[in-house]
Amino acid sequence: MQIFEYNGSALVAMVGKNCFAIASDRRLGVQLQTIATDFQKIYKIHEKLFIGLSGLATDAQTLYQRLVFRHKLYQLREERDMKPETFASLVSAILYEKRFGPYFCQPVIAGLGDEDKPFICTMDSIGAKELAKDFVVAGTASESLYGACESMFKPDMDAEELFETISQALLSSVDRDCLSGWGGHVYVVTPTEVTERILKGRMD
């Protein structure tokens, strides 16, 4: 079993019309033993920028603390919030810095940039970015998430339709992966509001 599969995770970010959604499962496990069913995998950097961290849970928490520290320094120096593209480059640089002993994390970054244009991207554990215009996935359920998102995604969805689509994709995917599940955690972000919802899975 790979170190990335030790705790199990499912992460997905999806783009709509001037909005985006980011969702994760809620399971924390040690291989096949479930430890918690309310584990946080998506973190808010600021009102229009979120990061999801899949992979080894301890490394995810450490990496998040470093990112918050670097973003606060940026806010103090620049007196503004970081753009999603800039933040993605920061995450990539921090990961690549540790390439010989990496953080075992696969981040998913989602934010609203200039003129409220949605930005999503994911990267591997050493910071190689993968940009997309529709959706990005990460975690142990990534294969089934690709399939579900490919079949369900359509461009220019409004916030409510986007929530419905990402939720169905997430829940149907975690049912096909024994290392992730126990419901979901979804953020839908528009230029004016952030909506957070908890999903119940089949077993809850």
| Torsion from C-alpha of 37, 61, 165, 179, nearest 10 degrees | -50
* Residues 39, 41: Cα–Cα separation, whole Å: 6
Q: C-alpha angle 116/65/110, rounded to 5°?
A: 20
**pLDDT (tens digit, 9 = 90+) per residue, 24-67?**
999 999 999 999 999 999 999 999 999 999 999 999 999 999 99
> What pTM was estimated for this model as a whole?
0.94
Using DSSP, state whether 82 is helix, strand or coil.
coil
**pLDDT (tens digit, 9 = 90+) per residue, 105-162?**
999 999 999 999 999 999 999 999 999 999 999 999 999 999 999 999 999 999 999 9
* Residues 137, 145: Cα–Cα separation, whole Å: 7
Please tell me the total number of residues recorded for the chain in this structure: 204
**pLDDT (tens digit, 9 = 90+) per residue, 68-95?**
999 999 999 999 999 999 999 999 999 9
